[in-house]
Amino acid sequence: MGAHARGLWMAVAAFVIWGLMPLYWHLLKHVPSLQVVAHRALWSAVLVAAWLTLTRGRGWLRAVLERPRLAGMLFASGMLIGFNWSLYVWAVNAGHVVESSLGYFINPLLNVVIGVAFLRERLVPAQWVAVALAACGVLWLTFNYGSFPWIALSLAGSFALYGLIRRQAEVDAVAGLGVENLYLLVPAAALLAWLELDGSGGFTDLRWGAGGNLLLALGGALTARPLSGFAYAVRRVSLSTVGLLQYLAPTLQLLCGVLVFGEPFGRDRAIGFIVIWCGLAVFAVDGFVRARRRIVAQQA
């Protein structure tokens, strides 16, 4: 399997995991969202750093920090993903799963725009049609939402900028994730320590139960795996393709919000989502046809 194909599958796996994550975070609804995010950052940093140290030795961190520009880029991407995590976990547990899914429907459009405007990527006519349909669907959802969708727009903007920085950062996907997490480790650990000493935390006294503590710790692994896959994918697959594949995650989030959590989904929302899915169908058919043509040309 070539690098492009591996990147494609990594992207698909990452988006499926992200799409089903509301089910996981809902199990921690009894834990304050800020503490969920802090534990997520803490355990993700510990797990990724431990893995990198075991497999590559202690030099992996020095190799990045010796390059100030790269270290600065990863600091920026770390702050963006930390903000994105915080808002997303709060939104899920506050009953805004459907609006969160709207944010991740908007995000791929921003990726496509960035890819064309700043990275000089080119779209074939069918891809332009797919993007136009998706844009119409998102605009319909935005203007018929009933209130300014600040959660959706904040999630979309922060993750689009994160993807752009990670695409341009010349670093291995896992090592880059490790450095990002270490930037978040100190504030996360300090916050959790202060909360435990203040009596507001519940990890050390098992206030949330052993099962709840285990879920908080495993949240770090669930964070690290799709992020490393996403970082791997964006360096091997065009940002336009990643942007359109990313609709997998919000589609699954939407289904979780409506079918599992019972959030409202009326006619106006249904129209917007159907238009977006039509765009995805155009993109999928175009990708299949062009892949078949490449195979035929190689066999000729």
pLDDT, tens digit (0-9, with 9 covering 90-100), for 120-138? 778 888 888 888 888 888 8
Long-range pairs of 131-134 with CB within 8 A, sequence gap ≥ 24:
131/244, 131/279, 132/279, 133/275, 133/276, 133/278, 133/279, 133/282, 134/105, 134/108, 134/109, 134/244, 134/247, 134/275, 134/276, 134/279, 134/280
Q: Which residue has the tokens 């993007």?
A: 131
- pLDDT attached to residue 1: 63
Whether 147 has a pLDDT exceeding 70, the answer reads: no
Q: Where are the alpha helices (DSSP H) in the chain?
A: 3-26, 33-56, 59-65, 68-93, 97-117, 125-143, 150-168, 173-198, 209-234, 239-245, 248-255, 267-299
Where is 146: in which H helix or E strand? none
- From residue 214, how far is each of 40, 51, 113, 211, 218 by CA, in Å? 12, 19, 40, 5, 6
CB 294 within 8 A of CB 163: no
What value does the mean pLDDT take over residues 97-104? 87
CB 236 within 8 A of CB 7: yes
What value does the mean pLDDT take over residues 176-188? 90
pTM to 2 decimal places: 0.79
Phi, psi of 237 (to 5 degrees): -125, 145
Residue 87 — very low, low, confident or very high, per pLDDT cuts 50/70/90?
A: very high
Listed residue (124, 113, 200) closest to 161, CA to CA: 113
Listed residue (47, 3, 28, 37) closest to 224, CA to CA: 47
CB 255 within 8 A of CB 263: no
Phi, psi of 38 (to 5 degrees): -65, -45
- pLDDT attached to residue 123: 80
pLDDT digits (tens, 9 = 90+) for 278-298: 887 887 788 777 767 877 777
Residue 236 — very low, low, confident or very high, per pLDDT cuts 50/70/90?
A: confident
pLDDT digits (tens, 9 = 90+) for 206-217: 677 777 788 888
Handedness of CA 156, 157, 160, 165 (dihedral sign): negative
Residue 239 — very low, low, confident or very high, per pLDDT cuts 50/70/90?
A: low
The total number of residues written for the chain in this structure: 300
Q: Which residue has the tokens 């959660």?
A: 151
Listed residue (168, 83, 134) closest to 280, CA to CA: 134
Residue 269's contacts (CB-CB under 8 Å, 6 or more residues apart) are 98, 141, 144
